[in-house]
Structure 1
């Protein structure tokens, strides 16, 4: 799985491993991966990589195949966000969001699918966002990339229906992770609020009145892995913010 160095990815890795799957952990920072690996049951593979590298998908899948055989469960959790007014969003920011949040998952999905189809079984789960389900101000590049990711999931699920391979997205709201910490800091810097006030504002965006936990997102991922009847879905884990 990608994005396994912290936050949602690390939580999902632990839950997938606890459910009995051998887990390959990938992220850019080897030290973070080593720390997570120490909390994961079994003997995970640690595979540092920048998933935006065009060769990363083949390198990661090939490493898993050499160790264990074809990838059976692919969790696409690597991602990042950027916030700025539309008119101030640079080409570089736009391209970075598309490369990390959409193109990298596409390459990994494309590489893993043939072996899953041959085996007659596979599970693919992408971590999207509520920003894949509705427009939000100041995050045009991020929202576009996540809308695209949900479209990729739906198209792949429709194409693979009947093969034994399911493809789903989990769409969290604001999760208590380092990524949200960065969002809080950006809001505080932009608005003059204290970090505590900025965090409280994000909590109020969700009807349950708090941030989502990474483990709650992992619950939805495990549901997708366990079910053959759930495919083509964008599952909200957002405290009721988007009623889909």
Structure 2
């Protein structure tokens, strides 16, 4: 059954939109009629998946000047941003005593600073419209500490704090702000983490995969489309009272 084009005329910005969760959300929004700008650091990856409804734009969320410039360009090309999905991020585990300042700062800059800059710049045009949806892609690691992932957990806790505070700022308006908190999703990030976990724990890659699968309460990896479905729900009819929430997509209670 063909979906209604209820998001026609809406411009969406999805960071980290070339692969994984970001791409699934971008494609889902486009399927409902939105004009979607996808960003990432690797233009060639974005251009491989871009088309009529997805516009590729290289942008480094760690770079304030780049975020400002590219967001302005996206607005000039497609109008005010009414759906902002702050998805860009990196996920890598490392025990605290092995965490260098360089590792810490890069993850903070990408995951937390990047979300802050993306939201700040997107809201400049969104506030001039009569409807807006802000969605941050956090993690269950933002709701509970992830063993062996102190830095990653700290960034995701920060994203949730940012989301909750921003929802208060716009309380009573036509703009809602919510966080999606998935468990382990079947994306290239999981593929990379298999090797990392195996090396850190001294186990096989099959065993490392089982560690991630078992961390999801329903004992399977989550499909990116499941996260995208939650994003669509937050942008759809009847979602206006869902605000300041952290929606767990992890197969059960965390």
CA distance in 2, matches of 1:176, 1:139: 19
Question: Residues 151-194 of structure 1, C-alpha deviation per residue, up to 9 Å, x if partnerless?
Answer: 00000001101121111110010000000111111111222322
Residue 108 of structure 1 aligns with which residue? 118
8 Å Cα contact 1:117-1:163 kept in structure 2: no
Length-normalised TM-score, structure 2: 0.91
Match of 1:50 in 2: 60
Q: Choose the corresponding residue for 2:34, options 21, 31, 50.
A: 21
TM-score with structure 1 setting the length: 0.94
Which residue among 207, 231, 234 is the counterpart of 2:243? 231
Question: 2:156 aligned to 137, 146, 150, which one?
Answer: 146
2:194 maps to which residue? Answer: 184
Cα distance in 2, alignment partners of residues 202 and 3 from structure 1: 22
| CA–CA distance in structure 1, aligned partners of residues 179 and 162 of structure 2 | 10
| Residues 1:168 and 2:178 are matched in the alignment | yes
Matched with 1:93 is 103
Asked whether the equivalents of residues 120 and 164 of structure 1 are also in contact (C-alpha less than 8 Å), the reply is yes
Write the distance in 2 (CA, Å) between the matches of 1:48 and 1:115: 20
- Contact 1:86/1:138 (CA < 8 Å) preserved in 2? yes
The Cα of 1:136 is off from its aligned counterpart by 1.6
Any residues of structure 2 matched to 1:121-132 within 5 Å, and which? 121-132=131-142
Is the 1:207–1:239 Cα contact (8 Å) retained in structure 2?
Answer: yes
Deviation, structure 1 residue 114? 3.3
Once residues 164 and 228 of structure 2 are traced to their aligned partners in structure 1, the CA distance between those partners, rounded to angstroms, is 20
- The aligned counterpart of 1:37 is 50
**Whole-Å separation in 1 of the counterparts to 2:209 and 2:189:** 12
The two structures, once aligned, show a CA RMSD in angstroms of 1.2
Q: Any idea what SS the aligned residue of 2:85 has?
A: strand
2:222 is matched with 212
Return the alpha-carbon distance in structure 2 between the equivalents of residues 140 and 201 of structure 1.
Answer: 17
Q: Which structure dedicates a bigger proportion of its chain to strand?
A: 2
What do residues 121-168 of structure 1 show as CA deviations (whole Å, max 9, x unaligned)?
111101000000001221111100100000000000011011211111
What count of residue pairs does the alignment treat as equivalent?
239
Contiguous gaps of at least 5 residues in structure 1: none
In the TM superposition, 1:68-83 aligns within 5 A as: 68-83=78-93
| C-alpha contact (below 8 Å) 1:157/1:167 kept by paired residues | yes
